[in-house]
Amino acid sequence: MRITVILCTYNRCRSLRTALESLAASILPNSIDWEVLVVDNNSPDQTRDVVAEFSQRYPARFRYLFEARQGKSFALNAGIREGRADVFAFVDDDITVDPWWLGNLSGAFRESNCAGAGGRILPEAGFSPPHWLSAAGRYALAPLAVFDKGSEPGELHEPPFGTNMAFRKAVFERHGDFRTDLGPSPGSEIRNEDTEFGRRVMTAGERLCYVPSAVVYHPVSEVRLRKKYHLAWWFAKGRADVREFGVSKDGLRFLGVPTRLLARALAQTWRWSLAIDSSRRFANKLNLWKTCGAIKDCFRAPANRPPTWQSSSSVRK
């Protein structure tokens, strides 16, 4: 089996070094031929120098690729085109991987017919969420990039997160690339490029596996522990959902916005204003911000907009 780990980075040479150190310490069977392809998305810092250092220390293990078009999806798609593998695995530039991460994740492809796989994304040891953030909601910790479905392996019924997932190369040939109207880019924190692709693959009938022993540790920075960050994240999530799923042409609309969305915003405003418990109150506010994000993107989204991913011809055969 050949695996390319695609790591897209922008202006984070310090955390990149930590991520690459952890990848260099990976333990895999000799039967697996693997590489790390670092896609530099036009960084103004010392990213190129950091990757050059690792390429010298570990010949044939680390490669550098420059992608000038700003936006994570452009970088991801460039990595897919240049990867030399049967399987593409994905991590971010601010993580550390368990030494057995890639070996365990690749096991899903050796031992089953799954099209893709995802593992656990955990915060660093000792982390606890702030008192104002309720962890009870299904995706309450998603802004912290936490993905944990327990310790039992099995089939995934929802898409994995982008910093710990892998897909067969053939999946991209069949279903296309990451959508470039989704994913972080200059001036925009709209995401969903990873989960949209996973949903697209599952909707086509492909099987995704959950590998809890494939663990990635994602630091929770001080910025992510601010209410302002969570509000902005969920606002962008509402916008991303409209881009992914479109705007239904059914029902009444006001200035292009479905009236059901406006009614939802009013109801959520009421629940937010009446809540007494601080975590419940903030959870209601996050729901409202997500709806407001969806309303904003309704102004730019035609009803039932067709998908905008690339054709499979962009994947190098």
| Shared domain check, 166 and 17 | yes
Name the more confident of 77 and 314.
77
Record the pTM. Answer: 0.92
Are the C-beta atoms of residues 41 and 74 closer than 8 Å to each other? yes
> Which CATH number does the domain housing residue 46 bear?
3.90.550.10
| Shared domain check, 199 and 120 | yes
| Shared domain check, 285 and 174 | no
Predicted confidence (pLDDT) per residue in 87-124, tens digit: 999 999 999 999 999 999 999 998 888 999 999 999 98
Q: Is the pLDDT of residue 208 over 90?
A: yes
Predicted confidence (pLDDT) per residue in 53-85, tens digit: 999 999 999 999 999 999 999 999 999 999 999
Confidence class of residue 310 from pLDDT cuts 50, 70 and 90? very low
Q: Which of 193, 221, 249 lies at the terminal end of a domain, its last residue? A: 221
Cβ neighbours of residue 101 under 8 Å, at least 6 residues apart?
Answer: 26, 119, 164, 214, 215, 216
| Shared domain check, 237 and 217 | no
| Shared domain check, 138 and 198 | yes
Distance CA 120, CA 211 (A): 7
Are the C-beta atoms of residues 79 and 6 closer than 8 Å to each other? yes
- Identify the three-state secondary structure at position 19: helix
Are the C-beta atoms of residues 238 and 293 closer than 8 Å to each other? yes
Q: Which of 163, 186, 221 lies at the terminal end of a domain, its last residue? A: 221
What does pLDDT average to over the chain? 92
Are the C-beta atoms of residues 167 and 88 closer than 8 Å to each other? yes
Enumerate the β-bridge partners of residue 166. 89, 117
Domain contains 129: yes
| Shared domain check, 134 and 51 | yes
Percent of the chain with pLDDT over 70: 94
Predicted confidence (pLDDT) per residue in 279-289, tens digit: 999 999 999 99
User: What type of residue is 246?
Assistant: G
| Shared domain check, 250 and 103 | no
- Identify the three-state secondary structure at position 119: strand
| Shared domain check, 151 and 95 | yes
| Shared domain check, 240 and 149 | no
The whole-number pLDDT of residue 247 equals 84
Dihedrals phi, psi of 126, to nearest 5 degrees: 90, -5
What is the domain range of residue 91? 2-221
| Shared domain check, 130 and 118 | yes
What size, in residues, is the chain? 317
DSSP H helices, 93-178, are 101-111, 169-175
Cβ neighbours of residue 149 under 8 Å, at least 6 residues apart?
Answer: 120, 156, 210, 212
